[in-house]
Chains A and B, each alone.
Chain A
Amino acid sequence: QKEVEQNSGPLSVPEGAIASLNCTYSDRGSQSFFWYRQYSGKSPELIMSIYSNGDKEDGRFTAQLNKASQYVSLLIRDSQPSDSATYLCAVTNAGKSTFGDGTTLTVKP
């Protein structure tokens, strides 16, 4: 079992729809959780960070964390073609970050 698991996709949604990306992790001691977006051929860029249970909203993005279920998700509202990318879930414990394999999202105009 991988330490951080994501659906590889591809996930395809129409423009304007909500895209839902999911991530589960195995280390119960994990302390911080991040979502990164990576365009093809580019390095990852931070989208959201979340540290406590519940929801965190930033513009069109909402991160949800449930430590009891070891689950973190990212919702993208009003999806745009420019959101098409690979989304990486990262889980950090004692300074070491572990990345999932990423979910590829395609937003169709």
Chain B
Amino acid sequence: GAVVSQHPSRVICKSGTSVKIECRSLDFQATTMFWYRQFPKQSLMLMATSNEGSKATYEQGVEKDKFLINHASLTLSTLTVTSAHPEDSSFYICSARDRRQGTVTGELFFGEGSRLTVL
């Protein structure tokens, strides 16, 4: 199956600092990538849809100025948590769909996830 690499897997930062998480599709091109947040024992919550070369589409209730998403190429999307606070501590996961499969039926390939702890 296709591989999506996410980095870093764990990050601890101080309150008020910014953290960048990278999501790369290693063996396929992804026109669209998705960013999720997951709190313990809860399901995935879609934060935003990242489209290559255009602005991300954010879900209702997600602050676009706090969670900056950049999708500069067909294989890389980044999520920057700006001015992080303890309540931002969570498991952040990206996923991507192989553009060759199309947007209608293609399965999602997930990155390994990044666990953010804000002190």
Q: Which residues of A contact B (CB under 8 A)?
A: 31-32, 34, 36, 41-46, 49, 51, 88, 90, 92, 94-97, 99-102
Q: Say yes or no: A95 contacts B107, CB within 8 Å.
A: no
Contacts of B37 in A (CB 8 A): none
- Among candidates B1, B44, B113, B115, residue contacting A88 with C-beta atoms closer than 8 Å: B44
Q: Say yes or no: A46 contacts B103, CB within 8 Å.
A: no
Q: Does B84 contact A (CB under 8 A)?
A: no
Q: Say yes or no: A49 contacts B49, CB within 8 Å.
A: no
Q: Say yes or no: B43 contacts A43, CB within 8 Å.
A: no
Contacts of A96 in B (CB 8 A): 49
Q: Say yes or no: B104 contacts A44, CB within 8 Å.
A: no
Q: In the complex where A95-B32, A95-B97 touch, is A43 in contact with B112 (Cβ < 8 A)?
A: yes
Report the nearest B residue to A4, measured CB to CB.
B43
- By secondary structure, the B interface counts as loop
Interface centre among A88, A90, A99 (most CB of B within 10 A): A99
Interface size class for chain B? 20 to 34
Interface centre among B109, B110, B111 (most CB of A within 10 A): B110
Report the nearest B residue to A6, measured CB to CB.
B43
Q: Say yes or no: A43 contacts B108, CB within 8 Å.
A: no
Write 28 A-B pairs (CB below 8 A) sorted by A numbering: A31-B105, A32-B106, A32-B107, A34-B108, A36-B110, A41-B91, A42-B112, A42-B113, A43-B111, A44-B110, A45-B110, A46-B109, A49-B107, A51-B105, A88-B43, A88-B44, A92-B104, A94-B103, A95-B32, A95-B103, A95-B104, A95-B106, A97-B34, A97-B46, A99-B44, A100-B43, A101-B42, A101-B43
Contacts of A34 in B (CB 8 A): 107-108
Contacts of B107 in A (CB 8 A): 32, 34, 46, 49
Q: Say yes or no: B104 contacts A31, CB within 8 Å.
A: yes
A92 to B107, CA, bound (A): 9
List 3 A-B pairs, minimum CB-CB distance, nearest first. Answer: A95-B103, A43-B113, A101-B43
